[in-house]
């Protein structure tokens, strides 16, 4: 019985080892990367279609449509060709791939800008807003996706996984958000549930393009490392390219690290309001001075934004008419500022509190009375 299991395991492990360790020959991979670096008609057709799909999905706030655009987008191929050219120190392949990427970026942004202008996009929903504040987490996703994508290229049996890699890294949607931001005027309306924020157009374009740069640099550097580790190139010949992209990665980490801190602070503050929404008033520190009153108040919507350690908080409350007075709102405002500075180290904070009053009409009808 023991020998039977050993033979079975040996045959299975041998087959598994054979499949995973068979690399695509260097010449075959070089030919495929040369083909992928050229800006063909099919490349532009797919790129424009993916830009249209992503832009419409972003404007309509549909995550499913945006995911569909990620699958169609062909922008990952020339970036991997760029990394392969850097690994083998082929300047011609590097230049051709870089030009294709640049043309692709301009095409996507121009398409999104045109669609945003035609559709008169003026509202910033969550699908758009979520791509305007990149951090180190996004860079980590790009690096992991690049490792998977470059490894997939070097294995014949794993080529079907490239669609999943494209979904994970999402190159086209940030560029479309950048184009949508450019199509908007100086004053835009950001809609989050029942709340709204104005004047986000510059932040939208800059933040989304920074997200694309994080994806681009992370993918290129990680793919370059993977190609070198699999001996498709020589570190002796490509060490300058490696150091250059490592330097770009280090520079990129500076703004992304700051964004990660802002992201952490925003999550902590937002968690406070989540407790209030769930009815756990006693756990909501900012209303602990008058919990009986706040049990009668419902938080309809909360939005927290933190940029460079400066916070903006939007709240929409509803309560019985006359229950929330100006002193009560002033007390909440003061408590939020105090807690935010003490617990989270916020430098500056802007708070917008909206109160929607509601009226309660009660009717007691007994038998024999007319309604």
pLDDT digits (tens, 9 = 90+) for 103-154: 999 999 999 999 999 988 877 777 887 888 788 888 888 888 888 888 888 8
Lowest mean pLDDT among 204-218, 247-261, 348-362: 348-362
Backbone angles phi, psi at 358, to 5 degrees: -130, 150
pTM check: above 0.85 = no
Residue 262: CA atoms inside 13 Å, Cβ hemisphere, count?
23
301: part of which helix (H) or strand (E)? Answer: strand 298-307
Q: What are the C-alpha distances in Å from 136 to residues 109, 226, 264, 310?
A: 24, 20, 11, 19
Q: Angle at Cα 142 formed by Cα 141 and Cα 144, nearest 5°?
A: 65
Q: Give the chain's mean pLDDT.
A: 78
pLDDT in tens, 201-245: 446 788 889 899 999 999 999 999 999 988 888 888 888 988 999
- Residues 6 or more apart from 300 whose CB is under 8 A from it? 193, 194, 316, 317, 318, 356
The full set of domain ranges for the chain reads: 2-233, 269-358
pLDDT at 287 over 90: no
Percent of the chain with pLDDT over 70: 74
Q: Which of 161, 165, 146 is nearest to 226 (CA)?
A: 146
CATH 3.30.70.1350 holds for 269-358? yes
């Amino acid at each position: 019985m023991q020998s039977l299991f050993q033979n079975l395991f040996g045959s299975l492990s041998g087959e598994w080892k054979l499949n995973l360790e068979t690399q695509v020959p260097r010449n075959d991979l070089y030919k495929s990367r040369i083909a992928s670096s050229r800006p063909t008609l099919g490349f532009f057709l797919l790129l424009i279609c993916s830009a249209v799909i992503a832009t419409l999905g972003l404007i309509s706030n549909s995550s499913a449509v945006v995911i569909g655009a990620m699958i169609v987008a062909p922008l990952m191929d020339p970036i991997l060709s760029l990394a392969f050219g850097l690994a083998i120190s082929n300047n011609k392949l590097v230049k051709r791939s870089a030009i294709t990427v640049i043309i692709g970026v301009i095409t996507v942004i121009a398409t999104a800008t045109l669609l945003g202008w035609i559709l008169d996009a003026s509202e910033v929903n969550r699908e758009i807003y979520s791509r305007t504040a990149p951090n180190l987490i996004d860079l980590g996703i790009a690096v992991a996706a690049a490792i998977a994508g470059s490894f997939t290229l070097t294995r014949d049996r794993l080529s079907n996984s490239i669609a999943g890699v494209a979904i994970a890294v999402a190159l086209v949607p940030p560029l479309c958000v950048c184009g949508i931001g450019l199509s908007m005027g100086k004053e835009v309306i950001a809609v989050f549930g029942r709340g709204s924020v104005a004047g986000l157009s510059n932040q939208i374009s800059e933040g989304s393009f920074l997200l694309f740069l994080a994806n681009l640099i992370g993918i290129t550097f990680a793919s370059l490392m993977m190609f070198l580790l699999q001996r498709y190139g020589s570190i002796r010949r490509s060490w300058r390219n490696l150091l250059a992209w490592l330097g770009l990665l280090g520079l990129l980490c500076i703004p992304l690290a700051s964004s990660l801190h802002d992201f952490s602070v925003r999550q902590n503050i937002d968690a406070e309001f989540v407790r209030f929404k769930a009815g756990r008033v006693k756990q909501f520190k900012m209303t602990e001075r008058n919990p009986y009153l706040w049990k009668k108040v419902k938080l309809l919507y909360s939005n927290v934004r933190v940029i460079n350690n400066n916070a903006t908080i939007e709240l929409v409350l509803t309560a019985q008419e006359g229950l929330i007075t100006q002193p009560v709102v002033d007390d909440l405002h003061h408590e939020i500022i105090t807690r935010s500075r003490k617990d989270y180290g916020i430098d500056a904070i802007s708070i917008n509190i909206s109160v929607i009053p509601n009226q309660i009409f009660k009717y007691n009808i007994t038998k024999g009375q007319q309604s």
